[in-house]
């Protein structure tokens, strides 16, 4: 499997490049970054922190190199990822994206693309995060109607979307179990005075320093509390999972695949 990484210089892109390069049966054949960056044209091995040349110059135009790959892993901006999606469909390439911050309308474009290419999106790629989600689902089935639920996500100061994509996944899961929508349940921060919204789901988003990614779900009962938490210490867990996703798509027919399929968590 030949792989191009879009967003190759970012905090996720660099370890993804490394894991692709190390993975048996996979070959790193390209990296793409935004036009105008000083590393465009430099060797991907140096840009991705390998400390050695790969003989692959970093491109700023995915269309110029896309035919060299079988699969794209995109960890760039929302805008670039949507361009990547269109090119993947046009050229018939499998696509994994671990980017977040998409609108429901933009997610619908990924769903439609699944009719023509194999695609994985709208997921946190850490295996342990997905085990956490399975635990949260079990707890919510038992406790959602009798506990107050609060979700806290913590990320670095530069993260653009809040709440995080994973926090929203948790909120949507709970809303579905309650037979309603997240729009009906969600409370994003609180100020002033007033009682908690009965049956609601509270969100808090902390953005500070270089926090990688932490998620905590509280189930607050009377006289007791359950907490389910995932802590990440580096982006390697997400990068490794993104490469797992790409490997999973090898040879798959067109379709929208779930992270649960990748990790066997169904």
Over residues 254-259, mean pLDDT: 96
Catalytic residue status for 91: no
Rounded average pLDDT over 58-63: 97
Specify the range with the lowest mean pLDDT, choosing from 26-40, 72-86, 193-207, 224-238.
Answer: 193-207
Our answer to whether residue 155 is catalytic in this structure is yes
Say whether pTM exceeds 0.75: yes
pLDDT the model gives residue 195: 87
* Among 159, 178, 197, 252, the one annotated catalytic: 159
Q: Which residues are annotated as a binding site for NAD(+)?
A: 7-12, 98-100
Please give the annotated binding residues, written as ranges: 7-12, 37, 98-100, 165-166
Catalytic residue, candidates 93, 122, 127, 155: 155
Query: Is residue 201 over pLDDT 80?
Result: yes
CA 221 to chain CA centroid, Å, is 31
Whole-number Å distance between alpha carbons of 98 and 76: 9
pLDDT above 80 for 134: yes
Residue 160 is encoded by which pair of tokens? 């653009």
pLDDT band, residue 191 (cuts 50/70/90): confident
* Helices 236-249 and 127-143: angle between axes, nearest 10 degrees: 90
pLDDT at residue 55, rounded to an integer: 97
- Predicted local confidence at residue 194, as pLDDT: 84
pLDDT for res 209: 96
pLDDT at residue number 75 = 96
Q: In sequence order, what are the beta bridge partners of 87?
A: none
Domains of the chain, each with CATH number or no CATH:
2-122+235-263 (3.40.50.720), 127-232 (3.30.360.10)
Residue 118: pLDDT over 90: yes
pLDDT score, position 190 = 85
8 Å CB contact between 54 and 45 = yes
The rounded distance, in Å, linking the Cα atoms of 73 and 246 is 7
Q: Taking 80 as the threshold, does the pLDDT of residue 266 lie above it? A: no
């Amino acid at each position: 499997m030949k792989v191009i990484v879009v967003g190759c210089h970012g905090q996720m892109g660099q370890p993804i490049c490394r894991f692709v390069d190390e993975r048996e049966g996979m070959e790193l054949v390209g990296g793409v970054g935004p036009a105008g960056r000083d590393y465009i044209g430099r060797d991907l091995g140096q840009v991705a922190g390998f400390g050695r040349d790969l003989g692959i110059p970093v491109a700023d135009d995915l269309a110029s190199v896309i035919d060299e790959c079988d699969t794209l892993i995109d960890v760039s901006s929302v805008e670039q990822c949507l361009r990547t999606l269109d090119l993947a469909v046009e050229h018939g390439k499998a696509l994994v994206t671990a980017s977040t911050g998409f609108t429901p309308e933009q997610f619908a474009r990924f769903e439609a693309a699944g009719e023509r290419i194999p695609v994985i999106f709208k997921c946190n790629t850490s295996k342990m995060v997905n085990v956490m989600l399975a635990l949260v689902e079990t707890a919510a089935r038992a406790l959602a109607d009798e506990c107050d639920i609060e979700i806290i996500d913590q990320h670095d100061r530069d993260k653009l979307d809040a709440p995080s994509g994973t926090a929203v996944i948790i909120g949507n899961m709970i809303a579905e179990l309650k037979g309603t929508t997240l729009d009906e349940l969600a409370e994003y921060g609180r100020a002033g005075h007033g009682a908690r919204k009965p049956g609601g789901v509270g969100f808090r988003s902390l953005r500070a320093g270089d926090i990688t990614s932490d998620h905590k779900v509280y189930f607050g009962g009377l006289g007791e509390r359950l907490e389910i938490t995932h802590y990440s210490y580096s982006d390697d867990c997400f990068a490794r999972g993104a490469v797992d996703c790409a490997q999973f798509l090898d040879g798959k027919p067109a379709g929208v695949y779930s992270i649960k399929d990748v990790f066997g968590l169904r």
